[in-house]
Amino acid sequence: MILTPGGLRPIRHPQLQGDLRSWTDVELPGLGRRAEVYAWLPPGYDEGDERYPVLYLHDGHNVFLDERANGGVSWDVDRAMTRLAQDGLAAIVVAVPCHPTLRHEEYTQHPHPLSGGGRAADYARFLCEELKPAVDATLRTRPEPRHTLTAGSSLGGVVSAYLWASRQDVFGGAGVFSPAFWWPGDRALDEVAAQLAVGGLEGRVHVDVGGLEQPGDPVINGLYVEQAERLVGILRDGGIPVHYVFDSAAAHFEDAWARRFPGAVRWLLDGYAADPPPHVVAAEEQDEPR
C-alpha cells in the first residue's frame, strides 16, 4: 500500500477546524475496495518535527463533515482534537470509511445468525499490516502500541475492542462507543475474557453506552447496556484501566458519540476524563456497572 505526503491533499470546508487532508481513491488491500482515507493533523504539524500519537477511527466518513455523514451529523472530531491539542494532548487522527454496503462484514469477528458478518480478521490485517505501516512511513507518528489507539461506535465499537485485544502488537488502547455486541454475540466477549485470563493484555479502554440505544426494541436496547457493562467487568477483573460512561439520555446516533468523544479521547491520551454532562454517569462516580 503506497501513501505519500504529496498525495495527502487538503480538504477546505467552512465547517472544519484545523488541518484535514485525505488520500483519495486508495486501494484497501485484502478488502476488495477503494476509499478516501482521511488524516487530521495537529496545529503546527508542518512547522515542526514533533512526532504524535495516532488515533485510528472507523466509519471515517462520519467523523469530520456533516455533509458526508450518515444522517447529516458528524462527530466534529476536528473541533475536539483542536481543543485537545490546545491543552497539550495533540494527536494525528486517521479515519477510514466503512464499506458502503457490507460494513457488518468488516466490523465483526463472528457472523450474526440471520444477517451475516465475520470478516474482522481481514479488516484487522488491512489496518495493522497495510495502513498503519504506510501511515508511519508517511507521517511523523509515534508508532509504538502505547501511542496507537483505535475507536468507533456500534459495530465500530465491537471491532475496536477486537483490534485492541487481538493486536496488542499494534494497539495500546481503544474507544468502545455503544458497542453492538448483540451482533456477534457473547462469544466475542468470551474471547476478550479468555485472552485476559491467560495474561498479556495491556493498555487502556474507554467504554460507553446510552440508555436509549434502541428504544423501539426493548430486548436489543437492554443488550446494549448489559453487554457494555459486561465488557467493563471483564476488563476491570483483568486489571485493565477502564473509563466507563453510561449516558441515560443518549440515543444510538452520531451526535451522542460526538458529545462523549472529547472526554473519551482525553482519557485515552492522558489518563483522565473531562467532566461529563449532568445526566452522564462516569466511571469515577460508580464503583460497579449498573
Look at residue 258 and tell me if it is in a domain: yes
pLDDT tens digits, 114-133: 788 889 999 999 999 999 99
Give dist(CA 221, CA 178) in Å, integer.
11
Look at residue 243 and tell me if it is in a domain: yes
Look at residue 222 and tell me if it is in a domain: yes
Give dist(CA 131, CA 205) in Å, integer.
22
Look at residue 92 and tell me if it is in a domain: yes
Query: What pLDDT sits at residue 139?
Result: 96
Query: What pLDDT sits at residue 287?
Result: 35
What domain range includes position 266? 5-285
pTM of this structure: 0.93
CATH number for the domain spanning 272: value is 3.40.50.1820
Query: What pLDDT sits at residue 281?
Result: 57
Q: How many Å separate Cα 75 from the centre of its chain?
A: 12
Give dist(CA 48, CA 64) in Å, integer.
24
Query: What pLDDT sits at residue 114?
Result: 76
Look at residue 265 and tell me if it is in a domain: yes
Query: What pLDDT sits at residue 282?
Result: 53
Give dist(CA 60, CA 106) in Å, integer.
14
Positions in the chain whose pLDDT score sits under 50: 272-278, 283-290
pLDDT tens digits, 208-239: 999 999 999 999 999 999 999 999 999 999 99
Number of Cβ atoms within 10 Å of the Cβ of 216: 7
Look at residue 218 and tell me if it is in a domain: yes
Look at residue 290 and tell me if it is in a domain: no
Query: What pLDDT sits at residue 49?
Result: 93
Query: What pLDDT sits at residue 179?
Result: 97
Look at residue 167 and tell me if it is in a domain: yes
Q: How many domains does the chain have?
A: 1
User: b/e string for 112-151 if b means 16 or more Cβ within 10 A?
Assistant: eeeeebebbebbbbbbbebbbebbbebbebeeebebbbbb
